Structure 1
Amino acid sequence: MEAALIAVLGTLLGSVVTHWFQARATMRGAELARAEQLRQERIASYSAYAGALLDYRRSQNDRWFRAHEQPGSPAAEAARFASYEARIAARQALTRVHLVCDVPRLRQLADAAFEFANCLHEAVDEEDRDRRSKRCSDALSAFVAAAAPSVQ
C-alpha cells in the first residue's frame, strides 16, 4: 500500500513539474516570437520611413528647381503637388515609426529629419537649398545610425 501511495505521489509530482517546465517554455517561446515580430516590424517601419523621406527630399528639391526655373508654370505646379503627395507618404511612415519605436531619441531624430525635408523648398538660393538638403540627408543618416542597433 505504501509503495502504491509513493508511486501515485511521484507521478503527481512529476506531472506538476512537467507542467511547470512546459508553461515556462511556452511563455519563453511566445516572448521570443513577440520580440522577433517587433524587430521585423521596426526594420520594415524604419526602412519604409527612410525611403519615404528620401523620396520627399527629392520631390522638395524638384519643387524648388521647378519654382525657380519657371515660377507658376505647369511643371512648377505639378512638382508642388508631387511634393504634397510625397509629404503625405513620409508623414504616414513617420507615424508608423512613432507607433513601433519606444526610444524617445529615435523619435526626435526621425522628427528632425522630416522637418528638414519639409522646409527644403523654402530655400532662398541654390546654396541655401544645397545646405538644407545636406542637413536633411545628415539627419536621416543620424536616425538610421541610431536605429540600427535596435534591430540587429
Structure 2
Amino acid sequence: MDAALIAVAGTLLGVVFTHWFQGRATERTAALTRTEQLRQERIATYSAFAGAVVDYRHSQNDRWFRAFRQPGSQEAEDSRHASYRQRTAARQALFRVQLVCDDPRVRHLAEGAFVESHCIHEAVDEAERARRSEQAKEALAVFIAAAGPSLR
C-alpha cells in the first residue's frame, strides 16, 4: 500500500512540475513572439517614416525651385499642393513612429527630421535652400543611426 501511495504522489508531483514547466515555456515563447512582432513593426514603421521624410524633403526642394524660378505660376502652385500632401504623409508616418517607439530620444530625433524637412521651402536663396536640405538629410541620418540598434 505504501508503494502505491508513493507512486501516486510521485505521479501527481510529476504532473504538477510538468504543467508548471510547460506554462513557463509557453510564456517565454509568447514573449519572444511579441518581441519579434514589435521589432518587425518598428522596422516597417521606421522605414516608412524615412521614405516619407525623403519624399517630403524632395517635394520641399521642388516647391522652392518652382516658386523661385516662376513665382505665382501654376507649376509653383501645383508643387506647393504636392508638398502639402507629402507633409501629411510624413506627419502620419511620424505619428506611427511615436506610437511604436518607446525611446524618447529616438522620438525626438524623428520629430527633428520632420521639422528640418518642413523648413526648406522658406529659404531665401539657393545657398540657404541647399544648407536646409542638407540639414534635413543629416537629421534623418541621425534618426536612422539612433533607431537602428533597437532593431538588431
**What's the TM-score bracket when you normalise by the shorter of the two chains?**
over 0.9
Superposed displacement of residue 23, structure 1: 0.2
Superposed displacement of residue 19, structure 1: 0.3
Paired residue for 2:38? Answer: 38
Paired residue for 2:69? Answer: 69
| Superposition RMSD in Å | 0.4
Q: TM-score, normalised by structure 1?
A: 0.99
Q: Supply the distance in 2 between the matched residues of 1:21 and 1:72 (Cα, whole angstroms).
A: 72
Paired residue for 2:28? Answer: 28
Structure 2: 5+ residue runs without aligned partners? none
Secondary structure at 2:11 match in 1: helix
Superposed displacement of residue 13, structure 1: 0.1
Superposed displacement of residue 6, structure 1: 0.4
Superposed displacement of residue 84, structure 1: 0.3
Give the residue type in structure 2 aligned to 1:42.
Answer: R
Q: Supply the distance in 2 between the matched residues of 1:9 and 1:92 (Cα, whole angstroms).
A: 61
Matches within 5 A, 1:71-110: 71-110=71-110
Q: Supply the distance in 1 between the matched residues of 2:31 and 2:13 (Cα, whole angstroms).
A: 27
Paired residue for 1:144? Answer: 144
Superposed displacement of residue 43, structure 1: 0.2
Give the residue type in structure 1 aligned to 2:140.
Answer: L
Question: Do structure 1's residue 2 and structure 2's residue 2 form an aligned pair?
Answer: yes
Query: What is the identity percentage for the equivalent residue pairs of Structure 1 and Structure 2?
Result: 66
Superposed displacement of residue 119, structure 1: 0.8
Question: Do structure 1's residue 135 and structure 2's residue 135 form an aligned pair?
Answer: yes
Paired residue for 1:124? Answer: 124
